[in-house]
Structure 1
Amino acid sequence: MTKWMIAGAALTALGSAASAQVGDGAEARRAELLRQRALIDEQLRALDTPVAAAPVRAPSPAPATEVVVTAKALSLTTQVQGQTVTTVDDRAFRNTPATTIADIVKLSPGVAVIQGNGPRDVGVSIRGSNARNSFGARNIQVFEDDFPVTQPDGLARFDLTDPHAYGAVDVVRGPSSARYGNYALGGAVNFRTRRGRDIDGLEAGFDAGGDGYANFYATLGGAGATHEYSLFGSFARADGATGHTGYETGTINAYGTFELGERDRVAAKVIYNEGEFRLSTRLSFNQYLANPYQRGCEAAATAAPGCGTISVLANGVNGARIAQTAAEGDLARNDRRTIAGVRYEHDFGPATVWRTQATFDSRVVNQPTSATPFKGTLDSYNITSDVTDRGTLLGLEATSFVQLFYNYLDNQSFSFNKTPAGRNGFGALVSTTFGDVRNMGARAREEVQLTPKLRLVAGIGAERSIINQRQTSYAYPLGASPTQTLVPALRRFWNVAPEAALVWQALDPVRLHARVGTGYGIPQSGQLFVTPEGVFGNNTALKAQRNTGVDVGAEITLGDTLRAEITGYYEWFRNELVSQSAGVNLQAYTSNVPRSVHRGIEIGVDWQPLPGALPGARVQASYSYNDHHYTDFQERLTAGTVSRLFDREGNAIPGVIPTFVNALAAYDQPAGPLAGLGGFAEVTYRERYYIDNANALAVPGYTLVNLNLHYDPPRGDGWWSRVSLFASVQNLFDKTYVGSAGIVANSFVAATGQENGAAVLRNITGSIYAGQPRTLFAGVKTRF
């Protein structure tokens, strides 16, 4: 069928729809005309441009106003050409507890999720990019509705908002600094909130579960001819399965798009989150085996075996120390996050659009989480301006993109000694950090249709980064006057990231791509002020890390019954930044690894095995294999006055899970009086992995099973069609497993030079949290 036949059919439908709207009012008629116009434009573009890579889980259809608002500008994470992208839509998680974003992103190949610091915090790793970090996200760029939620220092936190707000999430895998800039070594994640047209009214829900979990949430949304909006709010709390863990957190999340005229559009975004979080201590491996959930750890004097403790100064200044459990010290976090952004688009013509976006992001933290509590205010500003032109280049259809960007972080933070006086036991000042981080530069991208089936993508990004911060550390020697030491850090970095890809529509159902991409990430400012001895000092010689990666992948789509993707990748890292513990009650420090290699395979499948006999049956699975190892790394260890180098060449990079699998078998009744009734069984497998550079200590692998039953009927006239229900069992067989493991420091015996083995490493504290035991959840949601 030619493009003109499709256009003619669409115009006929447009005429019919327009006729049907006579007498229904100008606003309704305009909305329908806009919807049909967007469909025509999209169908014409589809004939001239290869369709986007088929996601493992197809996203929900985008509302018409979103197509009209964003179709002309180059998309951030949807319809990405030449790179592996997986979209997980809310079909996969809307009838589940979705207590954290781990329940969403774990469904993408290449993504591993670990528990962060506390029961709601989540660490996300794409191809091992964030595996060594014990909280939040590093080395990936995170967005929400195309607005950045990664601050200019490279940190994003995933306890920011509630998964019930989202309609889909896009996971872009592979080094992507040409498109996303600093810290995009592993790729990018873009959470997309539910659209107002899909909500069309008010929805309210309540989820409850074990360990005191409760979440009340509501979503309001709607759309008109020139606008669309959604407003989400929730309050969630839980006690946590581990001793002295729990949280109470509230979230507001709003997104709206508005047409100011035929050529002008505006989008606005607001996120607000505030939470109180109780935290336990991380354990040694032996402590975990003895008491994984830290029962009976209320007081150090009467603590049960396996309880973790911290060492605090009795007077908060100097002198004698005492041991306290997490409950005695009331370890906690009280964080507040506010993000506000606005995006403006203007059409210069039918094929050219100018887009400018500004985002303000404020992170206010109060964290008595250890023996050195931390307070700070980190406000950031992010501005981008770009032009997209969909025209021709040398007579070939082409999409051209150029962007300028600038972001700035103002850091004002303080660390203190902890006293025995609980959560508010802030003693003498330990350090202050003041200064800023700035990133500025330009990006360009060209997508050229060489033949009807072959597309070339080329891009480049250039970025100037400046860290200008100063840290003052304070010491309080016994019998002497306090001292202070200033460590200034002024570091400037130039980074350039090219990329190129070919996309070939080999057959109608088969798309192939080959890509070379690059990524870079400068050190975080805090890494510049901790020496390898785990104390405050000058570590300002750190270099920016870089990687160059090759992707070869295929996407297969067989109608609505099979969607599959397979990607192989090989990445060469230079000066990879690795952080590890320096020992008990010492801070983690960072060093550069000269060379390392990351390589692996990712497979995703979404299959309807019996579309005729059982149209509601579906099998979804993802498989990821990672072989990450050092190729040039001499690690220096110190024991007393003796210092030695240990060769780590060929060793696996700790924290990276070699193999992980998610598989789900589901059935949802598609029609009839029981339409919407369904359930699934899910299996998660994680292989054992090392947690030290010498590869002497590994945490065991595990397999978890989850079950779910739900009723989510299609919209209709009856009251029952407005109610959804679910019940879930997480970790059905109550498996005890390591939910998170920080990297432990290796050591050696000074007298012999012999490196200590697993027997010693198993007693190093500050590493392990146990995963969630068997937990029951149930929820109800209604629509108005």
Structure 2
Amino acid sequence: MKHPVLRRTTIAALCACWPLAAIADEIRNPMNVVVVSGTRAEHTSFDLPAAIDVVDAAQIGAAQLRVNASEALAAVPGIVVRNRENYAQDLQISSRGFGTRSAFGVRGVRLVADGIPATMPDGQGQAATFNLDLAERIEVLRGPFSALYGNHSGGVVQLFTREPTDRPTVEASFTGGSFGQRKLDTNASGRSGGIGYLIDASRFETDGYRDHSAATRDQAYAKLVVEPTSTSRLVITASGLRQDDTQDPLGVTWDTFRRDPRAGEIDTTDTRSPQRTLAERYDTRKSIDHQQFGATFEQRFGKDRLQVTAYGGNRRVIQYQSFSRGFQAPLTHSGGVIDFDRDFYGIDANWRTVRTLAGGTLRTTAGLEMASSKDARQGFENFIGNTFGVKGNLRRDENNDVTSVDPYVQVEWERDQWVLTGGLRHSRVDFDVEDQYLSNGNDSGGTDFRHTTPLVGVLYKISPTLNVYASAARGFETPTMNESFYSGTGGGFNFALKPAIGTHLEVGAKAMVASGVRVNAAVFQVKTKDELVVDASSGGRTSYRNASATLRQGGELSVDAELGAGWNARIAMSMLHAIYDEGFGAVPKGSRLPGVPKSSFYGELGWKEAAGRYGVALETVANSKVYAEDTNTAQTAPGYAVVNARVQASQQFGGWRLRQFARLNNLFDRDYVGSVIVGDANRRYYEAAPGSNWLLGVSAQYQF
């Protein structure tokens, strides 16, 4: 078969769609989803001229560990979330091809939780800080509208925790599964003395699917809701994340992956222990200690509203990286141990008015967002004598400051069938470096990036069940501080990097094709100049450069159907043509952007008993092949399709509610590459995904 993945994807799509025709007469009316992303105020997603999907609490907790956002976002078109089976490096999240180059963490996609950015002002974010146990919904915004959120290119992923319950409620859950996965979570909710409260604490442990990939993660979250008056509301949140000595399995070569997907790369320079892997020899690992707090105050004046959000926190990271002897000399600029202590804080204040204009309704939001992160950063050699994986001599000592100041305004005018939207945001991002380790030269300096982002959008309501829209924006994406750390294979800061500037165009349609069946479709194009690409990558250090122009063209389709007799179905399909529109260096024009699949598919067919006591579902996830580097000459990560199954049950006994679930992932035990490390100089591009694996979970909730 020439295209086996495409054939399996098509078959899965037909299977998922079959009930739409078979029992269309029994379809029920869906609820119109209300979102905040895109307009910063409640708005029906159906009437918003943007591609936006909502993952609700039922989908987030659908027989899952609730540890990785990849569990919940697989069903969103245009988004590819790769679980690297590496808790030292976080997930890879890409939106319409933006974000796939990130060596660790999330970049190119803005992350927000309860109105508080989980993305720093330089554009780097951590999805691990999301608390999925208490999530009410996740909104995923793609395309031009996301440009109004500032420094990034691809989209916005925004999480909202649920509201406190009216009656006191306590809950405990336990989940266990393959590879020593186990998670214990407890939470409590209620209201007392006019204050709503929500608290949660969890511990997750895993032995790891890949060699040297064990991890322990502790998370805590608290939320207080106060309504001082009938027209005001104050929400205070606090959260923490702690991971001690999380093992980093590193990437492997194609030969190693073919030999054993779970194996690490052998360190051929280790003559004393010839079978020891690089990860074992250097004991590659990362420790994270992250705390943050935030407060959002909202005051309503009739239809108008003032909202102010302030937040702050601290993030401490110690990471032990690997390098081979052959690369040791040019990389002694910073050593193999990263140690930084970051303080971050920010504020977002906006004023929203609603007025009548020219027979229609004019909604205007004007605001100012400011953010700052300050790093005390050191680097050390990762060896003492012949002992590796220990903190050695100091090689780096500096203070890194990033600040951003972004005023913005957005207007929406609605009359009859028309909704017109416009927006403007001016971003200024300043980098400042104070080098205190001068034996290898003074790398002190700074740079700033400025850009004004315009947005226009129009939506036309052809009928009560069909809307069409078009939107355009000009966004930008600065290099992150991490991407500026190195020049070439080992030089100092790269202050010569320029921001990538992208022109985004999108046309789409949203339709209720039958009572209970909703279809969203969009086609888009993004032209980017000065795209940031990998220049050199080795031993955990990656340097970047500006390339020539790139072109992204694609389409997205999602179908959600509530079917009679307890059946439901969902399909999410994406096509993306992402290439270098101009050649550079050894990369010819027309080369595919690495890390970006040309096609992605998610299909689900489920059934739930009328009272909601039992439910089953079958899922299919498929992605086409991806290239590992810019020239497209290295072995591609082949395309794949996997099938998952889940079953859920619940019982109610007075104030008690009991739940159980079982999940089987990768039913046919497919070996495949879950993610790639783009541009790795040692060709260790590949990170394996798990074979067949299982999860079992139970929970007990009591409401007083």
TM-score, reference length from structure 2: 0.87
Secondary structure of the structure 2 residue equivalent to 1:541: coil
User: Equivalences for 1:650-665 in 2 at 5 Å?
Assistant: 650-665=590-605
Which 5+ residue runs of structure 1 have no aligned equivalent? 1-55, 310-325, 475-482, 636-645, 747-763
Deviation (angstroms), 1:115: 2.8
| Matched residue, 2:581 | 631
Letter in 2 for 1:634: F
Q: Please tell me whether the aligned partners of residues 335 and 363 of structure 1 are also in contact (alpha carbons under 8 angstroms).
A: yes
| Matched residue, 1:88 | 55
Cα distance in 2 for partners of 1:772, 1:400 equals 48
| Matched residue, 1:201 | 169
| Matched residue, 1:496 | 452
| Matched residue, 1:20 | none
| Matched residue, 2:647 | 709
CA-to-aligned-CA distance 1:456-512 (integer Å, 9 cap, x gap):
0000001222111134667xxxxxxxx321112311221100001111121111121
Q: Please tell me whether the aligned partners of residues 297 and 303 of structure 1 are also in contact (alpha carbons under 8 angstroms).
A: no
Q: Structure 2 vs 1, CA of residues 378 and 230 (structure 1 numbering), >3 Å: closer, same or farther?
A: same
Q: Please tell me whether the aligned partners of residues 60 and 167 of structure 1 are also in contact (alpha carbons under 8 angstroms).
A: no
Q: Is residue 581 from structure 1 mapped to residue 536 from structure 2 by the alignment?
A: yes
| Matched residue, 1:454 | 418
Q: Please tell me whether the aligned partners of residues 252 and 265 of structure 2 are also in contact (alpha carbons under 8 angstroms).
A: no
Deviation (angstroms), 1:197: 2.7
Cα distance in 2 for partners of 1:297, 1:199 equals 57
Secondary structure of the structure 2 residue equivalent to 1:74: coil
Q: Structure 2 vs 1, CA of residues 369 and 175 (structure 1 numbering), >3 Å: closer, same or farther?
A: farther
Secondary structure of the structure 2 residue equivalent to 1:159: helix
| Matched residue, 2:549 | 595
1:676 to 591, 613, 617: 613
Deviation (angstroms), 1:172: 0.3
Q: Please tell me whether the aligned partners of residues 207 and 213 of structure 2 are also in contact (alpha carbons under 8 angstroms).
A: yes
| Matched residue, 2:160 | 192
| Matched residue, 1:322 | none
CA-to-aligned-CA distance 1:62-82 (integer Å, 9 cap, x gap):
9xxxx9xx9x97359978832
User: Equivalences for 1:712-731 in 2 at 5 Å?
Assistant: 712-713=650-651, 716-718=652-654, 722-731=657-666
Cα distance in 2 for partners of 1:724, 1:131 equals 37
Deviation (angstroms), 1:423: 8.1
Q: Structure 2 vs 1, CA of residues 73 and 138 (structure 1 numbering), >3 Å: closer, same or farther?
A: closer
1:776 to 694, 699, 702: 694
| Count of aligned pairs | 655
2:470 to 489, 505, 514: 514
| Matched residue, 1:402 | 366
Structure showing greater relative contact order (alpha-carbon pairs closer than 8 Å, 6 or more residues apart): 2
| Matched residue, 2:299 | 346
Q: Structure 2 vs 1, CA of residues 528 and 136 (structure 1 numbering), >3 Å: closer, same or farther?
A: closer
Q: Is residue 101 from structure 1 mapped to residue 69 from structure 2 by the alignment?
A: yes
Cα distance in 2 for partners of 1:553, 1:222 equals 42
Secondary structure of the structure 2 residue equivalent to 1:91: helix
Letter in 2 for 1:131: T
Cα distance in 2 for partners of 1:769, 1:516 equals 36
Q: Structure 2 vs 1, CA of residues 256 and 560 (structure 1 numbering), >3 Å: closer, same or farther?
A: farther
Letter in 1 for 2:555: I
User: Equivalences for 1:611-626 in 2 at 5 Å?
Assistant: 611=564, 614=565, 616-626=566-576
Q: Please tell me whether the aligned partners of residues 228 and 256 of structure 1 are also in contact (alpha carbons under 8 angstroms).
A: yes
Q: Structure 2 vs 1, CA of residues 304 and 422 (structure 1 numbering), >3 Å: closer, same or farther?
A: closer
Cα distance in 1 for partners of 2:434, 2:253 equals 34
Q: Structure 2 vs 1, CA of residues 728 and 497 (structure 1 numbering), >3 Å: closer, same or farther?
A: same
Cα distance in 2 for partners of 1:108, 1:402 equals 30
Letter in 1 for 2:663: S
CA-to-aligned-CA distance 1:606-625 (integer Å, 9 cap, x gap):
1234x1xx2x1111111011
Cα distance in 2 for partners of 1:568, 1:249 equals 39
Q: Please tell me whether the aligned partners of residues 184 and 204 of structure 2 are also in contact (alpha carbons under 8 angstroms).
A: yes
TM-score, reference length from structure 1: 0.79
Deviation (angstroms), 1:443: 0.3
| Matched residue, 1:363 | 315
1:373 to 325, 334, 337: 337
Q: Is residue 240 from structure 1 mapped to residue 192 from structure 2 by the alignment?
A: no
Deviation (angstroms), 1:440: 0.5
Cα distance in 1 for partners of 2:104, 2:338 equals 15
Letter in 2 for 1:783: Q
Deviation (angstroms), 1:526: 3.0
Q: What is the aligned-residue RMSD (CA, Å)? A: 2.8
Cα distance in 1 for partners of 2:31, 2:547 equals 39
Secondary structure of the structure 2 residue equivalent to 1:179: helix
| Matched residue, 2:126 | 157
Q: Structure 2 vs 1, CA of residues 76 and 140 (structure 1 numbering), >3 Å: closer, same or farther?
A: farther
Q: Structure 2 vs 1, CA of residues 537 and 380 (structure 1 numbering), >3 Å: closer, same or farther?
A: same
